[in-house]
Amino acid sequence: MDLGISGRKAIICASSRGLGKGCAMALAEAGCEIVVNGRDEAVLAATAEEIRSKTGAKVTAVVADVSTPEGQKALLAACPDPDILVNNNGGPPRKDFRELTRAAMIEGVTQNMVTPIELIQAVIDGMAERGFGRIVNITSLSVYMPIEGLDLSSGARAGLTAFLAGVCRTVADRNVTINNILPGKMDTDRLRGGIRFGAAQAGTTEEQEADRQAQAIPARRFGNPEEFGNACAFLCSTHAGYITGANLTVDGGLYTSAF
């Protein structure tokens, strides 16, 4: 399917690896000019070169922490008028909520709620003026299903979802959409860290814990960044102009709900 976004300019935050990289690859395959971002210069450079070689797309790499004002300025300097913004950022590490300090809570909310809002503030009016904009926020299935130890991440991402539920409806008539993708158990570094934690808690091997977790998913497997990226690219396409304020679960059926 031609997504109708060839030549569009896209910023994909935290895209040197994992789900962000999957989104960047899919948008590049759709013909977008992309800005990729990460904090590890070597990893980011390798990702940028991989995407260029596979897709032929124009790829600009920006080494920055997107959570900081300086990092956001660097991204917007590389692409002042993006047509597409994919918000993504690492979440707080797994921790019992009793151990969270005020500083840790503020940092978590800054990473997963304040930062995407700030970037949306910076780009949304330009999108509306040009008559095209696609904003996708990578949140988490934990917005719907609590995950032990990730309460701060879940709360911040749920706050972002509620905040933008009203905002998205103010620009829908200008062909600007805001949607969220909620990944379930995707085969990323973060998932593998959780598997190691679970194996240690249960006294089993990582392979056994991975199989146990996969068998609890109706699809009987983990998702991968490629299929996640393709879902993101569709929401960024011309065909998705009538979809806004949606929470798309990409979870293999893990979240059980009729509505």
The structure's pTM equals 0.95
Q: How many domains does the chain have?
A: 2
**Residue 44 within any structural domain of the chain:** yes
Asked if 181 and 140 count as a contact pair (C-beta separation under 8 A), the reply is no
154 in a domain, yes or no? Answer: yes
Residues 133 and 213 in one domain: no
Please answer whether residues 218 and 253 qualify as being in contact, where contact means their C-beta atoms are separated by less than 8 angstroms: yes
Note whether 193 and 238 are same-domain residues.
no
| Nearest one of 85, 90, 192, 180 to 141, comparing CA atoms | 180
Domain co-membership, 149 together with 201? no
Q: How confident is the model at residue 148 (pLDDT cuts 50, 70, 90)?
A: confident
DSSP 8-state assignment for residue 111: I
pLDDT at residue 93 in the model: 85
Whether residues 111 and 206 share a domain: the answer is no
Q: Any idea what DSSP says for residue 122?
A: H
Token output for 123: 């780009």
Among 218, 161, 213, 159, CA closest to 191: 213
Same domain, 128 and 92: yes
Tell me the residue range of the domain where 201 lies. 187-222
Model pLDDT, residue 39: 97
- Percent of the chain residues past pLDDT 90, beyond the cut: 90
* 85 and 201 housed in the same domain: no
- Domain with residue 54: its CATH number is 3.40.50.720
Do 212 and 100 lie in one domain? The reply is: no
The pLDDT tens digits for 12-60 are: 999 999 999 999 999 999 999 999 999 999 999 999 999 999 999 999 9
State what percent of residues in the chain have pLDDT above 70.
100
CA distances, 95 to each of 36, 109, 147, 152, 252 (Å):
29, 15, 11, 9, 26
Is residue 238 in some structural domain?
A: yes
Give φ, ψ of 180 to 5 degrees.
-125, 140
Cβ–Cβ < 8 Å for 147, 190:
no
Task: Count the Cβ atoms, other than its own, within 10 Å of residue 1.
Answer: 8
Q: Which of 23-32, 77-86, 90-99, 114-123 has the lowest mean pLDDT?
A: 90-99
Tell me the pLDDT tens digit for each residue of 175-232. Answer: 999 999 999 999 988 888 889 988 998 899 999 999 999 999 999 999 999 999 999 9
Establish if 254 belongs to a structural domain.
no
**Whether residues 85 and 205 fall in one domain:** no
Q: Is the predicted pLDDT of residue 94 greater than 90, yes or no?
A: no
